[in-house]
Structure formats: structure tokens, C-alpha cells
């Protein structure tokens, strides 16, 4: 009997040992799976739940004029996000109504309480509360201080406060089309803000800190962080004083002529630096969509007419035809032409603007009188291939490379598709189309001893360190500099253009003693998407520089669809005179006494 009891006892012991052994094997297997197989996954999960990664946004670089005046700056503002899951847990744990929480948050942020309540109930696709909801942006410091106090006092750690960016244009509409604007995230939307967006934006930093289960940073832990690299400051070639003068001149021209629009560009003809760029009407970059009802209206308002659009240049293009003919030795100062008021090309009569014509003229006369038949003769001597060769050399038909987005190439008729009538009309500024920056670049080539320079707006870029000190890291380098015509040809033509202003069709721009050289233009506007021209729609223009023998400043004025008078000599040249007078005064440029 005793032996039987011993057997049973040993059997029970064996079962217990087997069970314990199995349990230990299972536990060991689980530990192996957790500690070895799934270690990386579980560690990452644990770190994700116990750490908070916050992107620290860099400050967008400022845009300054050539004298350091601020044109676009970024203010320090903040944004608030909500972790709605933590908010819900907080409400349940502390038995606090979400309505009360919404009231407190809306009061601190000056938000509509009903919108805050709706935001607090937003859920994801599977029905869970959102972990990251953007509640408010561009919050000023005095407001965010109240929010921080609320978060601390009430332990509202479901509120996440981050730095944000707010772009500010202190002069409102000033230089609007060139500066452009940014979108709601602070990224470049148009203009220089878009073209130099990468340089202005900088590189974000990262802050990683340990948090508890309610996402509150642990006080004993030192956060790991990388400092953001702020965006570069960009110094422009723009002179704010000259820009102001040009803005006022454009506004007055638009008012006086009841025009659809006015563009003015002022440059240094030797370097291609743009001192001023104006388009009217314009917009306020601080609120670029204000007052606009449709996307088409917005598109038209934002277009930089001087850069994005191409129009027939009219008689201002005669500068190029003259330069080509002089360079090829196909004409000379006393070359004789006869204008009877029209010329017939392949059965098509092309009229001079003056009924009855100008009669006998020399080369300087056809420039001074802007005589179409005379330039048709020069175009005929050059021929299709040679004329197009110079058109290309002067930068037409391709973007000039200005540092603004959306630049047009213009429209140049290919040589193999050019008829004799086309050759005739192109020679005096019709059929082909060009942008305003292409035209000012062509004039500058003549005024700069025949050397082409690219119109541009960036003068230099500077990095700004944590200590606030700035260092120039890049200056503008022109990659398109080239000799287009000889210095002799350029200087000869510059002298002729001075006579166009002093005694010719552009005499309304004449100021004694300043040696202004220039050319007016009056171009019919081509029908959009069709053949022919729009009746009664013109672009009146003037391009000029001074002094003609050592130019310090050049400018272009274009008046789009003026009402009433529409000749460039009548309405654009007087604007040029007023503009030159004010710029000369600003530059302390004195007249030359004879």
C-alpha cells in the first residue's frame, strides 16, 4: 500500500515538473520573441510613445533694396495644434466638459467658440480622434503668451505650440509684381519670393524630447535638437527712392491716359541692374487675393506685364534694324531715302504714319521721323536671314534670363516662314512680339558700347548667423554678357538717338543739357487667338537713356490701351521727361553746360 502511494506521489510530482517546464519554455519563447525577434519594432514603438519630435522652422530671409531698406520681412509668430485623443482622455479623467475647454481655448486665441467645438470632435477614417489637428496659425506673441499660461495652469498638454512664419511687406503695394508673395505655409507663390524660394526658406531644425503618457515633456530630460538654418537675405538692385518715383509716375500716367495698364522699368544700362520695376494696376502682397472674385481676374492681376507678356514693340524696334544695317555697312549717316507715304510689297501697300510721307530723308531723318518706308528699305537690304540673325543676337525670341518666374520668350517669325511682307513689317516693329525686359535689354546693348547685359534684380545674398551677423555668400554673375555690335556702331547710333529726342519724334522727352537718347513707339495690339489687330487698341511706349555718351540710367515706359491720344511721342515721351527729371535730381546728376 505504501509503495502505491509513493508511485502516485512521484507521478504527481512529474506532472507538476512537466507543467512548470512547459510554462518556463513558453515564457522563454515569449522573452526570446520580445527581446530578440521583435526588439527593434518594440523599441521604436516605445520611443515613439515616449518621445516627441518637433520641427523647428527657420526664419525666412528678408528682401532688401540696394541701400538696405526692408521690402519683405518675416515676423516671429506661432501656431497651435491639438491632440484630440489626449484631449478626450483628459476630459474623461478629470470629468471636465469639452464645452468648457473649448470656451477657455477660444478666449485665449480669440477664436469663434463654435468653430473650436467642431474642431475638437474631428475624427479619422476609422473613427478615432485626430492626433494632430491644426487649430490656429500666425498667432502673435502677446496672444501665444496667454495660450502658454492656459496650457500650464490647466495642464492642457494636448495643446501643442510651435513657431510659425508670417511674411510682411511694410510698403504694401510697393514693388508688388517683382517681390511677389508667399502662400499660407510661407512658401514662394510668385515673383522673387518664388524664384528665390529655396534660398529664402532655409533648413528646418528638429527638437526631440522625452514625454510622459500625456505628452508633457519630462523636466529632467535634456532635449536633443538641431538648430534651424535661417534663410538667406537677398539684397536687390532696386533703389527704393527711384522705385517710389516710378510708382508715382505710373499712377499719374494711368490716370491721365485712362489706360488699361502702365509699365515702367528703370535700369543701369551698363550692368543691367534694375533700379525700378512698376506695373499698374497692382496688388498688396500682404493680402494678394483681396477684391478678386475669379481665378482669371487673379491671374491677370498677378501677371508681371513687363516680364510675362509679349507685345509688338512698334517703332522702338527700329533701333535694332538701324544697328544691324550700320554694323553690316548697308547704310550710313547721309544715306538717302525717299518716302512718298507708302510702299508696295508683293502687291500690299504699307503706309507711313504720316499721310503723304516725309519726302527726301537721310538715315538720321528716318529715325527722327520714325519713317516706316525708310526702315522697310533697310530691312530689304538686310534680308530675312541677316535681320533674324541680329534679332537673335539682341536677345529676342528667347528669355533674357531675368530672375523672375514665367518670363516669356516672345514671338519671332522663323526665317523659312517669313514672307516679303513679313520682312517689311518686322523691320519697323510689327509681326514679331517682345517683352518689356527684352526691349530695355536691346536699348542697353546700344548704350553700353554694343555689349549685352542681362536685366536682373538680385545684387547679392547673405547668410545670417545665430549672432545676427550677416555675410555675403553670393553676388550676381551675368552669364549672358556678349558683344552684339561694335563699339563704333553702338556709339554712332546712340548719337542718332539723342537727335531723335532733341529734334525728332521723341522731343517731348527732351531736357536741355542731359543728352537724353531715345525712341518712341506706337503699336497696334494683335487680336488674341486670331489674325489682324484690335481696332482702337494700342501700346504707346518710349525707351531711352542718359547721357547718351556715358549713360547712367535707362528707362522704358509702356502704356497699354490708352483712351484718346495713343502715339508714344504724345503720351509716353512726356512721362519719360518727368521721370528723367526726378531721377536726375535723386542721383544728383547735373546737366552739361555748353
Q: How confident is the model at residue 126 (pLDDT cuts 50, 70, 90)?
A: confident
- Catalytic pick among 62, 263, 315, 554: 315
Within 13 A of 77's CA, how many CA atoms are on the CB side? Answer: 19
Angle between helix 98-109 and 113-120 (nearest 10): 130
Cell of 151: 496650457
538 phi/psi in degrees, rounded to 5: -135, 160
Whether the pLDDT of residue 47 is over 60: the answer is no
Please say if 315 is a catalytic residue: yes
Residue 528: per-residue pLDDT: 73
Task: Give the three cell numbers for residue 118.
Answer: 467642431
CA distance 345 to 14: 120
pLDDT over threshold 80, residue 309: yes
**Is 278 in contact with 262 (CB distance < 8 Å)?**
yes
pLDDT > 80? residue 224: no
pLDDT over 90 (residue 217): no
Nearest to 436 by CA among 248, 222, 246, 586: 246
Domains 56-207+228-236 and 240-284+309-586 alike in fold? no
Q: Per mean pLDDT, which range of 12-21, 56-65, 213-222 is the poorest? A: 213-222
Rg over CA atoms, the chain: 36
Position 307 scores a pLDDT of: 97
- pLDDT of 220: 43
Q: Could you check whether the bond before residue 438 is cis, i.e. omega within 30 degrees of 0?
A: no
Q: pLDDT value at position 59?
A: 87
Structure confidence at residue 206 as a pLDDT band (50, 70, 90): confident
User: In which band, very low, low, confident or very high, does the pLDDT at 75 lie, cut at 50, 70 and 90?
Assistant: confident
Domain 56-207+228-236 has CATH 3.90.1310.10: yes
pLDDT band at 19 (very low <50, low <70, confident <90, very high): confident
The pLDDT-based confidence of 498 (bands split at 50, 70, 90) is: very high
pLDDT, position 7: 59
What pLDDT does 409 receive?
Answer: 96
pLDDT band at 469 (very low <50, low <70, confident <90, very high): confident
Whole-number pLDDT of residue 24: 73
Quick one: which of 483, 589, 499, 481 has its CA closest to 548?
499
DSSP codes of every residue in 106-120: HHHHT--HHHHHHHH
Query: pTM for this one?
Result: 0.85
Mean residue pLDDT of the chain comes to 90
C-alpha to C-alpha distance for 548 and 497, rounded to whole angstroms: 8
Of 155-164, 259-268, 275-284, the one with minimum mean pLDDT is 155-164
Q: Is the pLDDT of residue 511 over 90?
A: yes
Q: Sign of the C-alpha dihedral, residues 369, 372, 373, 377?
A: positive
Residue holding cell 469639452? 98
Q: What is the mean pLDDT of residues 433-457?
A: 98
Topology (CATH level 3) of domain 240-284+309-586: Beta-lactamase (3.40.710)
Q: What is the pLDDT of residues 314-356, one digit of tens each?
A: 999 999 999 999 999 999 999 999 999 999 999 999 999 899 9
Q: Identify the weakest region by mean pLDDT among 94-98, 208-212, 531-535.
A: 208-212
Reported as a pLDDT band with limits 50, 70 and 90, residue 64 is: very high
Please report which confidence band the pLDDT of residue 470 belongs to, taking 50, 70 and 90 as the band edges. Answer: confident
Assign 3-class secondary structure to 504-540. CCCHHHCCCCCCCEEEEEEEEEECCCCCCEEEEEEEE
**Mean pLDDT lowest among 52-61, 180-189, 273-282:** 52-61
C-alpha cell of 252? 499719374
Close Cβ partners of 192 (under 8 Å, ≥ 6 residues apart): 63, 178, 179, 180, 234, 236, 403, 404, 457, 458
User: CB of 556 within 8 A of CB of 317?
Assistant: no
Cβ contacts of 26 within 8 Å, gap of 6 or more? none
Domain extents for the chain?
56-207+228-236, 240-284+309-586
Q: Given this model, what pLDDT does residue 218 score?
A: 46
pLDDT tens track for 160-195: 888 887 899 999 999 999 999 999 888 999 999 999
**Cα 338 vs. chain centroid, distance in angstroms?**
48
**Segment of 32-41, 84-93, 118-127, 573-582 carrying the highest mean pLDDT:** 573-582
All three cell numbers of 569: 511721342
Let me know: does 284 contact 170? Beta carbons within 8 Å. Answer: no
Query: For the chain, give me the number of helices (H) and strands (E)?
Result: 19, 23
Amino acid at each position: 500500500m505504501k509503495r502505491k502511494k509513493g508511485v502516485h506521489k512521484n507521478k504527481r510530482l512529474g506532472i507538476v515538473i512537466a507543467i512548470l517546464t512547459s510554462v518556463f519554455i513558453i515564457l522563454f519563447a515569449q522573452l526570446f520573441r520580445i527581446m530578440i525577434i521583435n526588439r527593434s519594432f518594440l523599441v521604436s514603438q516605445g520611443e515613439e510613445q515616449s518621445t516627441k519630435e518637433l520641427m523647428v522652422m527657420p526664419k525666412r530671409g528678408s528682401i532688401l533694396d540696394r541701400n538696405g531698406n526692408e521690402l519683405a520681412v518675416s515676423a516671429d509668430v506661432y501656431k497651435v495644434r491639438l491632440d484630440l485623443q489626449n484631449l478626450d482622455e483628459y476630459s474623461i479623467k478629470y470629468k471636465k466638459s469639452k464645452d468648457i475647454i473649448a470656451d477657455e481655448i477660444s478666449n485665449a486665441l480669440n477664436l469663434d467658440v463654435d468653430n473650436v467645438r467642431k474642431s475638437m470632435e474631428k475624427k479619422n477614417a476609422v473613427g478615432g480622434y485626430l492626433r494632430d489637428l491644426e487649430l490656429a496659425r500666425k498667432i502673435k506673441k502677446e496672444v501665444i503668451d496667454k495660450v502658454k499660461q492656459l496650457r500650464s495652469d490647466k495642464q492642457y498638454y494636448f495643446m501643442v505650440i510651435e513657431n510659425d512664419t508670417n511674411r510682411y511687406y511694410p510698403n504694401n503695394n510697393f514693388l508688388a509684381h517683382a517681390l511677389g508673395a508667399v502662400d499660407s505655409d510661407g512658401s514662394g507663390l510668385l515673383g522673387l519670393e518664388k524664384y528665390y524660394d529655396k534660398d529664402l526658406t532655409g533648413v528646418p531644425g528638429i527638437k526631440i524630447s522625452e514625454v510622459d503618457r500625456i505628452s508633457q515633456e519630462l523636466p529632467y530630460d535634456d532635449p536633443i535638437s538641431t538648430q534651424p538654418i535661417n534663410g538667406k537675405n537677398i539684397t536687390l538692385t532696386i533703389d527704393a527712392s527711384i522705385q517710389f518715383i516710378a510708382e508715382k509716375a505710373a499712377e499719374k500716367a494711368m490716370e491721365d491716359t485712362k489706360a488699361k495698364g502702365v509699365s515702367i522699368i528703370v535700369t543701369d544700362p551698363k550692368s543691367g541692374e534694375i533700379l525700378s520695376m512698376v506695373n499698374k494696376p497692382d496688388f498688396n502682397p500682404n493680402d494678394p487675393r483681396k477684391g478678386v472674385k475669379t481665378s482669371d481676374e487673379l491671374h491677370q492681376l498677378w501677371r508681371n506685364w513687363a516680364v510675362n507678356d509679349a507685345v509688338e514693340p512698334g517703332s522702338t524696334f527700329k533701333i535694332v534694324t538701324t544697328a544691324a544695317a550700320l554694323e553690316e555697312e548697308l547704310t550710313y549717316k547721309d544715306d538717302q531715302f525717299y518716302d512718298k507715304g507708302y510702299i508696295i510689297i508683293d502687291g500690299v501697300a504699307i503706309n507711313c504714319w504720316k499721310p503723304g510721307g516725309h519726302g527726301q530723308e537721310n538715315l538720321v531723318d528716318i529715325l527722327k521721323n520714325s519713317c516706316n518706308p525708310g526702315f522697310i528699305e533697310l530691312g530689304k537690304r538686310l534680308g530675312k536671314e541677316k535681320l533674324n540673325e541680329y534679332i537673335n543676337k539682341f536677345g529676342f525670341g528667347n528669355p533674357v534670363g531675368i530672375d523672375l518666374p514665367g518670363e516669356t520668350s516672345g514671338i519671332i517669325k522663323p526665317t523659312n516662314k517669313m514672307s516679303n511682307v513679313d520682312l517689311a513689317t518686322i523691320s519697323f516693329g510689327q509681326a514679331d512680339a517682345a517683352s518689356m525686359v527684352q526691349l530695355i535689354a536691346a536699348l542697353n546693348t546700344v548704350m553700353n558700347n554694343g555689349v549685352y547685359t542681362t536685366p536682373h534684380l538680385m545684387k547679392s545674398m547673405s547668410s545670417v548667423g545665430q549672432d545676427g551677423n550677416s555675410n555675403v555668400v553670393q553676388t550676381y554673375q551675368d552669364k549672358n554678357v556678349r558683344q552684339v555690335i561694335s563699339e563704333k556702331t553702338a556709339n554712332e547710333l546712340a548719337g542718332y538717338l539723342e537727335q531723335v529726342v532733341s529734334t525728332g519724334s521723341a522731343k517731348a522727352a527732351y531736357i536741355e543739357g542731359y543728352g537724353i537718347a531715345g525712341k518712341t513707339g506706337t503699336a497696334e495690339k494683335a487680336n488674341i487667338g486670331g489674325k489682324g489687330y484690335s481696332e482702337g487698341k494700342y501700346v504707346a511706349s518710349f525707351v531711352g537713356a542718359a547721357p547718351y555718351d556715358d549713360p547712367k540710367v535707362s528707362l522704358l515706359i509702356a502704356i497699354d490701351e490708352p483712351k484718346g491720344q495713343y502715339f508714344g511721342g504724345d503720351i509716353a515721351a512726356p512721362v519719360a521727361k518727368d521721370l528723367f527729371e526726378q531721377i536726375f535730381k535723386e542721383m544728383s546728376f547735373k546737366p552739361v553746360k555748353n
